[in-house]
């Protein structure tokens, strides 16, 4: 029993994030206000995160930096127990981008952003605290990029994804007459790539964008720290090295940008998240007797986004958006160590542009819909909500 309790401690038990799974997709205040409708209608330095081809929208130099904070409220209602509520965990992934236009056909830049970030913080009396308790995860993408425009209607871009993943986890261990604690911490590196294209289908009216970001495999390595272990278990439950290999999913984003009148832009995006790479996870302890790999069997999912931006004046733009984002997790592997939900959201935002400076603010309300778990011993349902707030400051040199 003790062995099984320990072996389900995982390096990716990270809990709630803004997007389905443990993804985090709004890497600017403008993107937050548009519900991540960005593939075809983002043309500044933040396009490094959304569609690298569109960094060619920069005239000379563009720099952007900011933060997006998520405030979730999450509950799990077991079939045979009272409703359990997670303490609010603030998840504030930062972002910074810079792009320089080298000539009429070529632009280059670099971005640092966090497309995977989440945290969980179940209460001290959570009845499943040996399976899910406290955790934080973040994957920082360092993304040097270049884009080329062979024709005024056609843009291409490519980038390198250098990924640094970090994680920290705390779990409880049930010894029947007492309770111990294990703390895990680790980090790792991975490398991937991304590519994008943008095509003007009708001048000043309609354009199409597509972007692909590859999966990235990260091997987290770190250490375990066991505390309050009864004397009879101290020879087995000793501090030791640990590791876990995880493949962060790739994505394919397709988008249209429509400008029916001069000041109005409408965007529609369809995103395919390649979560099927996440088929199992677990921690490998130096003592193999403590290791168990758990199946997850996540599936690829499509999510859909609509964003509208209207320039009230040359200096002020208003934005609204909406999003539908289904969970990749099947009900028969959905447990408190990595809770997830079907999600719908609505957003509003405002942008201020007083050249050479700008500021973009966005707010998104995310409904975490009733999502059932059928895992033996963890039957019940998850639901909740989240508030997402983004602010990005920018500088543009013409």
Q: How many domains does the chain have?
A: 1
Other residues' Cβ atoms within 10 Å of the Cβ of residue 299: 15
pLDDT at residue 16 is higher than 80? no
- φ, ψ for residue 90 (rounded to 5)? -85, 125
Q: Find the CATH number of the domain harbouring 250.
A: 2.40.160.60
Q: Is the predicted pLDDT of residue 1 greater than 50, yes or no?
A: no
Give me the pLDDT at residue 97, please.
Answer: 98
SS3 label, residue 2: helix
264 pLDDT above the threshold of 60: yes
For the chain, give the mean pLDDT: 89
Range name among 99-103, 278-282, 374-378 with the lowest pLDDT average: 278-282
Cβ–Cβ < 8 Å for 274, 215? yes
- For every residue of 131-173, DSSP letters joined together read TS-EEEEEEEEEEEEEEEEEETTEEEEEEEEEEEEEEEEEEEE
Highest mean pLDDT among 10-14, 69-73, 380-384, 393-397 belongs to 393-397
Give the pLDDT confidence score for residue 168 in this predicted structure. 84
Query: Does the pLDDT value for residue 313 go beyond 50?
Result: yes
H or E segment at 200? strand 179-202
pTM: 0.91
| pLDDT for res 88 | 67
**Structural domain range at position 52:** 2-397
pLDDT digit string, tens, across residues 265-310:
999 999 999 999 888 877 788 888 888 777 888 999 999 999 999 9
Q: How confident is the model at residue 10 (pLDDT cuts 50, 70, 90)?
A: very low
The structure tokens listed for 203 are 């001048």
Q: Which of 290, 200, 309, 194 is nearest to 241 (CA)?
A: 290
Residue with more model confidence, 14 or 317: 317
- Could you tell me which of 208, 107, 114 has the C-alpha nearest to residue 158? 107
| Predicted local confidence at residue 6, as pLDDT | 45
Q: What is the pLDDT of residue 8?
A: 39
Compute the distance between CA of residue 116 and CA of residue 388 in angstroms, rounded to an integer: 15
Query: Does position 19 have pLDDT exceeding 90, yes or no?
Result: no
Tell me the percentage of the chain whose pLDDT exceeds 90. Answer: 56
Residue whose C-alpha is closest to residue 329's, from 3, 9, 15, 5 = 15
Give the Å distances, CA to CA, from 70 to 67, 165, 385, 387: 10, 19, 10, 6
Question: The dihedral of CA 51, 53, 57, 60: what is its sign?
Answer: positive
Report whether the peptide linkage leading into residue 356 is cis, meaning its omega lies within 30 degrees of zero: yes
pLDDT tens for 322-349 read: 999 999 989 888 887 778 889 999 999 9
How many Cβ atoms are within 10 Å of 178's Cβ, its own excluded? Answer: 10
- Work out the average pLDDT over 23-39: 92
Rounded mean pLDDT, 237-246: 88
Please compute the mean of the pLDDT values over residues 87-107 and round it to a whole number: 88
More confident residue, 137 or 249: 249
CA separation for the pair 29, 65 (Å, rounded): 10
pLDDT-based confidence at residue 15 (cuts at 50, 70, 90)? low
Quote the Cα angle for 286-291-288, to 5°: 45
State how far the alpha carbon of 250 is from the alpha carbons of 15, 134, 141, 254, in Å. Answer: 20, 26, 13, 14
pLDDT in tens, 176-200: 888 888 888 899 999 999 999 999 9
Q: What is the pLDDT of residue 7?
A: 41
| CA-based nearest residue to 96, from 43, 48, 57, 31 | 48
pLDDT of the residue at 2: 47
Parallel/antiparallel/unpaired status of strands 251-261 and 206-213: antiparallel
User: CA torsion, points 29, 35, 38, 43, in degrees to nearest 10?
Assistant: -30
- Those residues with Cβ within 8 angstroms of residue 20's Cβ, 6 or more apart along the chain or in another chain: 273, 301, 303, 325, 326, 327, 328, 340, 341, 342, 343
């Amino acid at each position: 029993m003790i062995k099984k309790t320990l072996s389900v401690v995982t390096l990716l038990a990270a809990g709630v994030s803004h997007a389905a799974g443990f993804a985090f997709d709004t890497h600017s205040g403008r993107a937050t206000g548009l519900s991540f409708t960005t593939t075809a209608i983002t043309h500044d330095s933040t396009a490094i995160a959304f569609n690298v081809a569109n960094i060619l929208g920069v005239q000379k130099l563009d720099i952007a930096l900011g933060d997006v904070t998520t405030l979730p409220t999450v509950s799990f209602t077991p079939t045979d127990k009272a409703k359990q509520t997670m303490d609010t965990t603030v998840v504030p992934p930062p972002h910074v981008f810079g792009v320089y236009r080298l000539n009429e056909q070529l632009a280059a830049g670099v971005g640092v952003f966090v497309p995977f970030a989440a945290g969980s913080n179940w209460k001290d009396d959570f009845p499943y605290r040996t399976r899910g308790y406290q955790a934080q995860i973040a994957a920082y993408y360092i993304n040097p990029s270049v884009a080329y425009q062979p024709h005024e209607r056609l843009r291409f871009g490519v980038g390198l994804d250098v990924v640094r993943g970090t994680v920290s986890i705390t779990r409880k261990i049930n010894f029947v007459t007492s309770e111990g604690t294990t703390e895990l911490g680790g980090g790792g590196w991975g490398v991937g790539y991304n590519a994008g294209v943008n095509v003007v289908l009708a001048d000043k009216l309609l354009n199409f964008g597509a972007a692909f970001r590859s999966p990235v495999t990260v091997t987290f390595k770190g250490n375990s720290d066991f505390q309050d272990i009864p004397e009879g278990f101290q020879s087995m439950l000793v501090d030791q090295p640990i590791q876990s290999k995880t493949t962060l999913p790739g994505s394919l984003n397709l988008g249209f940008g429509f400008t029916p009148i001069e000041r109005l832009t409408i965007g529609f995006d369809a995103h395919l998240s390649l979560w099927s790479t996440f088929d199992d996870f677990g921690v490998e302890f130096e003592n193999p007797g403590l290791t168990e790999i758990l199946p997850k069997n996540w599936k690829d999912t499509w999510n859909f986004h609509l964003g509208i931006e209207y320039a009230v004046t040359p200096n002020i733009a208003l934005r609204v958006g909406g999003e539908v984002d289904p969970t990749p997790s099947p009900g028969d592997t959905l447990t408190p160590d990595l809770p997830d939900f079907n999600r719908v959201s609505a957003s509003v935002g405002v942008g201020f542009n007083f050249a050479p400076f700008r500021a973009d603010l966005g707010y998104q309300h995310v409904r975490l819909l009733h999502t059932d778990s059928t895992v033996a011993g963890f039957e019940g349902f998850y639901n909740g909500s989240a508030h997402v707030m983004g602010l990005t400051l920018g500088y543009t040199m013409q």
